[in-house]
Structure 1
């Protein structure tokens, strides 16, 4: 940390101002204490010793000591770390919320001091009562020096400590960590399994070496929804053909709950590879249940259509447009529902491919006014300076066609009016 006080005036360093701020901290209400703490942080090293004295006073108000710990965490001084460590070491661990909050703030303040706090925090891991606070503080520092102490608690009996350590370790690329994360996939605690999945999802470089898809696939069927969903997200991040197959298997399973299926579809949409888009098309076209008899089928179609409309890669957008146009021109049972046609129109508009012009124009003849207006909105999105003639001009030309279907003629007229 640099000298954050070098530009302050001498007035901010005055003993009188220091005494005033300390008095306000000790006797004011919460807002006054907040303001006083901010002022003390600006004063620089002159404030450190008086603040440490308050921190070490066990008779002082816990809220005042909380503010003091928070303020000390903003100073880069050799005196601060021992004071905060001493507070933790001498604390009486109770169920009192204010005391617990004070210890948590002391640990957070140590974390704010960075690598200078790693060694003393590592030593605190030997104390069973202080281990949760020390682990949380080490996890916040996010420096490679914390890897060794965090690895020492990954098998702790407390699942909160294990989860905290695994979450932090998952952010580092260190050869010691991947085997620990793989082992944690089978942890009895759902929170630990979830953090292990997140960590491994960042290691696309180890997909083949650790066979990550095969390691993560069983977690798709985890009894805890948060774990299952995280496995879906992880597989979408890895994005391999094997990951696509695993997601599709879960989506098509008759035992998979609808909410899990929908999360799986979203994850599949995020991949945006040829194999993923092919599978989305397959699911969309092969599920031919009547939407009134199978609401889940309708929900899945809805999710796929929206997902196709959110494609961002140029080649994926072209494929998605082709699929939606083909779907719109089919006799698929889902198209009986106006909402589905509205979503197709919106997605085609978002994709912005001019090849969707003719199918969208035909949809202007729909008997549902809401469908027509969604089509008009989509057609406006297709307009681009690169398209000549413009979409509006094309509609004008179509409106002059002598053999136009009356419903379509009326729909085009509405579109031109709304333009």
Structure 2
């Protein structure tokens, strides 16, 4: 049912924001001449103007949720909403939150009056949130505001906001403006500039990111490492493995982890060797060790597999790290090495003391199932009689991921043996049930 303008006015007085929102949506979705009214002397344009006034009143007096909802509707009133929104923007007596909404809404308009208004706000306000919103709104105007941003970069008080705006514009035209700022003394500006440049795969950015790997600010070092390690085409020409590898010994753990993961993305044997050497260092903290094994798994070649296997062979390996390695081995993506991975896992299961831990056996069973290699069927069947219920369940789950015909044949052959222990008979019976096969042990 259509709402009447009088109902909307009453809802405003009673602060019934839901009714007002419904009315305003009604005005924006039906022809204004079709709106029911008890004021027939009003034209459609007049009713439209009344609705805009109501919307602005909600913006000024409503609670945050009402403001949020009406902010989505105001652009629907078109250019006639721009002038009153600019007035709110300039009114220093208006609540800062209202001005914040006004700036945000104006960013949705492509109109000549919007850019100067937002520019004035950005230059005149000391409120950081207002300034940031004005910068974002200006960025929404696209490439046309780049010359404006160039002027704002000349002033220390507006430079951070201008850099943010350039980052959001995100076009190649912003690169020449951002490059000098990546060497700025102001840490905030420098960080913003490097972060903004990191979105570009442009040769001009290489000269910024390589020195930034050694920047005094850890966040910048991380950003630069992440960027260069996505450029495998630069590995040889800029000796990236050595440059990034040096950061494995950084004083900041986050940078060390970024370097480890970056080397994993570069994916060379030399990168794998540096990761292994860092892992062997007795002072390497566990979080970095965990990043290193993840990186080795990403590399995924024979050398990386051997390094991960050596980790499992170490009796003093942290249990959390060992669990990570087992999980990663189960997800090995290189098909040519999956049988070799399964062989390694089975060797560890049979010949290493740590595999007596039920949690480790369960993890090996899970990994064997994920690899899907037939060589794992027989050992997994033996684990159906394991004393630990978690190991038995993981063995069943693993068998369900292997070749069903071969698993069925193996289980059937074993089920007919007469010398099975009670535990083995029970395990096979449960496995057959889980696998949807008839119990052959009875």
Same fold (TM over 0.5): yes
1:298–1:38 Cα change, 3 Å: closer
Confirm or deny that 1:201 pairs with 2:229.
Answer: yes
Confirm or deny that 1:62 pairs with 2:82.
Answer: no
1:9–1:156 Cα change, 3 Å: farther
- What number of residue pairs does the alignment pair up? 395
Distance 1:49 1:322 in 2: 73
Bigger-Rg structure (1/2): 2
230, 249, 254: which one aligns with 2:277: 249
Contact 1:365–1:407 (Cα < 8 Å) also in 2: yes
Confirm or deny that 1:77 pairs with 2:77.
Answer: no
330, 349, 373: which one aligns with 2:369: 349
Unpaired runs of at least 5, structure 1: 1-6, 94-98
71, 74, 78: which one aligns with 1:37: 71
Match of 2:35 in 1: none
Match of 2:390 in 1: 370
Distance 1:407 1:35 in 2: 65
Match of 1:327 in 2: 348
For residues 184-263 of structure 1, what are the structure 2 equivalents within 5 Å?
A: 184-263=212-291
Match of 2:208 in 1: 180
Match of 1:3 in 2: none
Higher relative contact order (CA 8 A, sep 6+): 1
Contact 1:167–1:199 (Cα < 8 Å) also in 2: no
SS at structure 1 position matched to 2:385: coil
Distance 2:340 2:77 in 1: 62
Match of 1:100 in 2: 128
Distance 1:17 1:123 in 2: 39
TM-score, structure 1 normalization: 0.88
Distance 2:77 2:413 in 1: 74
Contact 1:362–1:408 (Cα < 8 Å) also in 2: yes
Unpaired runs of at least 5, structure 2: 1-27, 33-43, 436-442
1:410–1:34 Cα change, 3 Å: closer
Deviation at 1:360, TM superposition (A): 1.0
Confirm or deny that 1:301 pairs with 2:322.
Answer: yes
Deviation at 1:40, TM superposition (A): 0.6
Deviation at 1:122, TM superposition (A): 2.4
1:160–1:316 Cα change, 3 Å: farther
SS at structure 1 position matched to 2:203: coil
TM-score, structure 2 normalization: 0.84
Distance 1:78 1:314 in 2: 59
SS at structure 2 position matched to 1:152: helix
Distance 1:207 1:75 in 2: 45
